[in-house]
Structure 1
Amino acid sequence: MASLPGVQAVAAPAAVPSPKSESSAAAPSKTTTTMPCTATSTSGAFYDLRHDIVLPPVEGGKKPKAGVQVTDYTARGHDYGANFTLNLCAAVVKPVKNVEGLDRDLWANVSAYYERNGDIFSLGQESSVLVSRGRELVLQYTGGSPCPDLSEGNGDKATKDFDEVNRRGDDNDEPMFSTQASKVRRKSATFAFLCDRDPLETTAHISFVGTPDECAYFFKVRSPHACAGVEPHKPGSVGPGGVFAIILGVALLVYMIGGVVYNRTVAHARGWRQLPNHTLWLGIWSFVRDFVIILTSMCTRFLPQRQGYRTLSTSPNGRNRDDENRLIDQLDEEWED
């Protein structure tokens, strides 16, 4: 398969959609998203599949975080005759080479592929644009290997025509793609996500559904992260708690200002009596003050007792001071006699 620098420059619009084209494709669903591999439906349901992305192994031999998958997903083809290697919202972790019908620069962006008879066929380039169509959550890869020409009964004819045009452009120094080559369809993959509420499942499971023409491939993904949730709080924005606090603060402010104006103008109150329901607030203050006093007195019982009065009531030699006083009085009476 020939590979020349000028191939991708001309073929990019037809083969690999740009992020702008992906965004425009998702526009009809009216789905908004601010982070890769996330989506918010029109009903407000938030989907976050970033936990299902396969990440490369951690450098330095460190163990990955719990729940993080470091090996690509695999899906059995069953009667198709080949198994599939995939990743979600990212390129496959295991590098692929010699991908049919793709320029060398695009090999690192392959997100799904299968191998048959020693040849590797791509099902699409990396994409992190999730689309919510009603109650369905969909992810699509496009720009894979050329689709086979089934009308000729030869599954490799499209790829051979693709390579033939490359060689012809190389020999004649002409544009790499003619009208025929620009019309070559490319393989794509569509993933439909299903919510899996099994508490024992922490990772996604991908199953191959089928392909009607060996050009468009359909997969089903069961994942606990495909369940609708609430969009997390964004830094710098007001969360639900902040909104409640603002509403409560405004209500209290209106209550205080309105009560003061009413008591001052209508009831002709002055001083603390201008406050709305000042008797209620005064009772609350009295209750709080009495409670603090009771609580303080209870806490003082647990403090070590001082020996003040007890020491004064006892003489230094250990005798009781009352006994000493009675003895002194007795001596005074005898002296008077």
Structure 2
Amino acid sequence: MVNRHAASSDISSGDKELFCAVMNPLTGNYIDLSQLSTTPNNLHKVDHNRDRKDWEKTRWMVRSREVNLNFTLGICSSPTTDEDSVSNSTGAYYVDPDQHQEVSIGDFATTPRFMGKKLTLAYENGDMCPNGVDRRASILNFVCDKEISTKAQINFVGSLHNCSYFFEVKSIYACPTSHKSNDVNVLGIFFGIFLVFFLVEWGRRWFYGRVRARLRYNNESTVIDARPHWETIERPSSWRRVFKNVFRFGAPAKNAGIKLSTSPQYRNPSTDSLVRDIEAQNRLLDNLDATSASS
């Protein structure tokens, strides 16, 4: 059929991934409506038997009780047959109940677009309107619906001056799906996040190591030495005490003396006071010894 060849030529001449598909510029979501057409994007090899069966499933009949018309629609392809009087580029038509002839309400298109938040597909350049000036057109509004069992459910919404026709298409294929370029972008974002996390973790470990080394140095050189040395009890190291206990059984431990340091770098008011008291006591003992010797 000519409509299948027309759709196939659109795919081969342009970007196959964008046939009857669109990417939301605001969210980056990718919607592929080609599964509702006679030539879906994943149909790489053209199988005539399968193509014919898919064509039967992508030809929708819509009944309208308001205007008492029966519409026949195709999505991104033509639903016409060889017996129809309308052109094979027609995307939607109905049968005039009075003249019993097909009336085209727009040629099919393969470029869905977003009108605000609504995904639409416009069929234009149909038969002449009753006003004799404009040509009939149709607007298909797609709605994401993951609960319907069929590929699509099309309802007639209304018409304007018997010249413009509006339909609502509910389908799971109108729901956003992932796209190859999106997958690459997601991979790049994931790699970037991993790299940032690695740098932050490496910086944290480096900073923690520097702080820990600094604290260890301060504990060994500043914190312990800052205490007055006359308050420090001299003790042998732990390994030396163990060594002495092993080779000197039962030996009484010697009382540790008080370490006095009068070096300028360790002197403080408490140390000077203690030294003065000891010197005064020594002078007093010397005077007593001298007095007792003279007597």
Shorter-chain TM-score range: 0.5 to 0.7
1:55 touches 1:69 (CA, 8 Å); kept in 2? no
Larger relative contact order, structure 1 or 2 (CA cutoff 8 Å, min sep 6): 1
SS at structure 2 position matched to 1:137: strand
SS at structure 1 position matched to 2:57: coil
Give unmatched runs, 5+ long, in structure 1.
Answer: 1-18, 20-32, 100-106, 150-157, 159-183, 269-337
Give unmatched runs, 5+ long, in structure 2.
Answer: 1-9, 11-16, 215-295
Provide, for residues 303-327 of structure 1, a one-character-per-residue CA deviation record: whole Å limited to 9, x for no partner.
Answer: xxxxxxxxxxxxxxxxxxxxxxxxx
TM-score (norm 1): 0.47
Cα displacement (A) at 1:97? 4.6
Matched-pair identity in %: 29
Cα displacement (A) at 1:39? 3.8
2:32 touches 2:173 (CA, 8 Å); kept in 1? yes
State the structure with more CA Rg.
2
**C-alpha distance in 1 between matches for 2:163 and 2:52:** 36
Match of 1:76 in 2: 63
Which amino acid letter does the alignment assign opposite residue 243 of structure 1? Answer: I
Matched, 1:232 2:179: yes
**Matched residues, number:** 193
1:72 touches 1:94 (CA, 8 Å); kept in 2? no
Which amino acid letter does the alignment assign opposite residue 109 of structure 1? Answer: S
Aligned residue among 37, 51, 55 for 2:21: 37
Which amino acid letter does the alignment assign opposite residue 232 of structure 1? Answer: H
**C-alpha distance in 1 between matches for 2:84 and 2:111:** 25
Which amino acid letter does the alignment assign opposite residue 191 of structure 2? Answer: A
2:21 touches 2:30 (CA, 8 Å); kept in 1? no
RMSD: 3.8
Aligned residue among 121, 125, 133 for 1:143: 125
Aligned residue among 168, 174, 195 for 1:249: 195
**C-alpha distance in 2 between matches for 1:232 and 1:96:** 39
- The change in CA–CA distance for 1:130 and 1:96 in structure 2 (over 3 A counts) is farther
**C-alpha distance in 2 between matches for 1:55 and 1:62:** 10
Matched, 1:201 2:146: no
Cα displacement (A) at 1:34? 4.8
SS at structure 2 position matched to 1:94: coil
Matched, 1:53 2:37: yes
Match of 1:125 in 2: 107
Aligned residue among 156, 160, 163 for 1:215: 163
**C-alpha distance in 2 between matches for 1:60 and 1:194:** 31
SS at structure 2 position matched to 1:238: helix
